[in-house]
Structure 1
Amino acid sequence: MTRNRLDDLRRTLPRHTSPVILVDNGSVDGTVEYVRRTHPHIEVIALDRNLGAPARNLAVRQARTPLVAFADDDSWWAPGALKRAAGYFASYPRLGVLAARVLVGVPELIDPVSAAMRTAPLGRARDLPGPSVLGFIACGAVVRRSAFLSVGGFDDVIGFAGEEERVALDLAVARWGLAYADDVVAHHHPSAVRNRREREIVVRRNRLLTALLRRRWSTVAHEITTALRTPDGVRSLGAAAGSVPAALRQRAAIPPELERTCRRLARLG
């Protein structure tokens, strides 16, 4: 998935092996034309506007493989990683999402989320290939296509940034397994084309909206009060306001035991 990051794509596209589907979220920098001209083997879905993370759903539906490995324009999979992932999915039929070890930047430091998953705070189920998890980093995840689509994929309420949480919760409710694999590696070299402060505002917005979609009301209240303590908290809440009605219409609170697990992970974090 990409949007107006042609320079990043020039660096990462050659690292991807077929079959590849690229979804362009309304780029105006010549991305679509460049990819079609220089990488004709890549299927391109060219959108006329930015759908955010739900754009990935279009590619998953178009895919003709039982597994889909996500990537962003600033990430790629290490050699052999996807073959190992496919082996795990073949051996563990309950596996719905495999979270990779994500290495960040030139120093290849492990992403803090991957590092936390590696410690197995939720233990390890016998019918999963690694530590059980309740989340994933989209650019470092392989999904079973049928499982991902069964929970609706990424949704329009969240859009982008933190879009993984609602999907993970719905998969867990449906009894799909989510696991971390330390030997499945993805590389992420964060693009220079990003506004970190604005992203933090969006992340906080989406935490609140995800809580409205799936968490207990006490968690919703906690997200609001936590946001108000942050420098841009009011902006985050304001950004969420327009999507609150849609979130409430789609609200389906997770079971109490799963809520307790989420809170335990939050305390550990």
Structure 2
Amino acid sequence: MTNISPLVTVIIPAYNAARFLPATINSIQQQTYSNWELLIINDGSTDDTVEVVKKYQEKNPCIQLINQFNQGVSQARNLGVEKSKGQFIAFLDADDQWLPDKLQQHLKHFQFHPHLGVSFSQVEILNQAGEPTGQVSSSRLHHLKPEHLLSENPTTTTSNWVVRREVFAQVGGFAPDMSYSEDLEWLLRVICTGLWEIEGINQVLTRYRTSSGGLSSHLYRMEDGWNQLVQKAKIYAPQLVEDHFALAQALHLRYLARRAFRLHLPAEVGVDFMTRALASDWRLLFHQPHRTVLTLMAVFGDLLMEKILFI
């Protein structure tokens, strides 16, 4: 056992994650960069999460288990940051995975970019069973501005982030009262300081398992979370919200419409989101027009097919 302080702290918030954790922990242990500590924050799990972690602890002293009453993912991540020792903090959700050179590539990225606060990469999308879908994230990687983060999440998931510790000292942790868009709200706070860059690596380093949540209510809660983000942004970036709210809301609603279609939700859900998107800002027709037109065709075509089938 070494006394060298870890350069990287990996934080996994875990709630009833026993069946996913082995693959997730293994992906950390297989990293080509080895000077890390792993903090697994058990957020009041009622399954075998604790037992699974303890088996790994017996073999690897770099793994720590920290228990808290169920308080949600934001509080779990904040506790992990509070207990961390590393100069860099990396988040990984309990059902996601990293490719072996994930940490090595991000540390190189920081080495050559002294003003980089948050490093991320491209993401491979897995289905709920953990199988590749063939999809890779296509979000912008460079020259991110506050208005981009008001409307979209180029990082896809917190499992994709590696962050300088100083950033948390300056902007604080995740908003504990948010369950949706809390990651995007934190990134927006960071970029609005003007002190740190958020930039991606043009390489797949994270594997993200999509949620099985296929209920309309889930998407409407996502919309509520984004509205919470806007209310918080009005405090520290009022001009940003005033200048970009309409188009940002339209882009977010279009995203929810696309998601409703992919989840095979009732057609009226996608139509509702898309109709309100265009009502928010008609310029959506000229912002990524290919994506907008395809979404319109998908959700209204879906509605038409439903009506035909019920005639």
TM-score (norm 1): 0.71
Residues 82, 184 of structure 1: 8 Å contact kept: no
- Could you say if the C-alpha distance between residues 86 and 205 of structure 1 is closer, same or farther in structure 2, counting changes exceeding 3 Å? same
- Could you say if the C-alpha distance between residues 263 and 62 of structure 1 is closer, same or farther in structure 2, counting changes exceeding 3 Å? farther
Shift of the alpha carbon at 1:180? 1.5
State the partner residue of 2:140: 117
Are residue 149 (structure 1) and residue 169 (structure 2) matched? yes
Are residue 187 (structure 1) and residue 207 (structure 2) matched? yes
Shift of the alpha carbon at 1:111? 4.7
Residues 81, 183 of structure 1: 8 Å contact kept: no
Specify which of 166, 178, 194 is matched with residue 198 of structure 2: 178
State the partner residue of 1:164: 183
Identical-residue share of aligned pairs (%): 22
Amino acid across the alignment from 1:16 = I
State the partner residue of 2:228: 209
Q: What stretches of structure 1 of length at least 5 have no aligned partner? A: 126-132, 216-251
- Larger Rg: 1 or 2? 2
- Count of matched residue pairs: 219
- Could you say if the C-alpha distance between residues 109 and 254 of structure 1 is closer, same or farther in structure 2, counting changes exceeding 3 Å? farther
Shift of the alpha carbon at 1:188? 1.5
- Could you say if the C-alpha distance between residues 266 and 152 of structure 1 is closer, same or farther in structure 2, counting changes exceeding 3 Å? same
Specify which of 113, 119, 138 is matched with residue 92 of structure 1: 113
- Could you say if the C-alpha distance between residues 179 and 25 of structure 1 is closer, same or farther in structure 2, counting changes exceeding 3 Å? same
State the partner residue of 1:37: 55
Residues 98, 205 of structure 2: 8 Å contact kept: yes
- Could you say if the C-alpha distance between residues 57 and 184 of structure 1 is closer, same or farther in structure 2, counting changes exceeding 3 Å? farther
Shift of the alpha carbon at 1:154? 0.7
Pairing 1:48-127 to 2, within 5 Å after superposition: 48-105=69-126, 106-107=131-132, 109-112=134-137, 115-118=138-141, 123=143
Segment drifting more, 31-40 vs 169-178: 31-40
Shift of the alpha carbon at 1:257? 5.0
The residue matched to 2:188 in structure 1 has which SS? Answer: helix
Instruction: Render the CA deviation track for 1:166-201: whole Å, top value 9, x for unaligned.
Output: 111111121211111122510112365x56544323
Instruction: Render the CA deviation track for 1:28-86: whole Å, top value 9, x for unaligned.
Output: 10211321133334111111223322311111222211111110111121111211101
Shift of the alpha carbon at 1:211? 0.9
State the partner residue of 2:15: 3
Residues in 2 aligned to 1:204 and 1:256: alpha-carbon distance in whole angstroms: 22
Residues 123, 156 of structure 2: 8 Å contact kept: no
Are residue 28 (structure 1) and residue 31 (structure 2) matched? no
- Could you say if the C-alpha distance between residues 258 and 117 of structure 1 is closer, same or farther in structure 2, counting changes exceeding 3 Å? farther
- Could you say if the C-alpha distance between residues 200 and 264 of structure 1 is closer, same or farther in structure 2, counting changes exceeding 3 Å? closer
The residue matched to 1:147 in structure 2 has which SS? Answer: helix
- Root-mean-square deviation (Å): 2.7
Are residue 15 (structure 1) and residue 36 (structure 2) matched? no
Residues in 1 aligned to 2:180 and 2:240: alpha-carbon distance in whole angstroms: 26
Residues in 1 aligned to 2:211 and 2:251: alpha-carbon distance in whole angstroms: 29
Instruction: Render the CA deviation track for 1:133-188: whole Å, top value 9, x for unaligned.
Output: 87652111111121033211211121x23211211111112121111112251011
Amino acid across the alignment from 1:47 = Q
TM-score (norm 2): 0.62
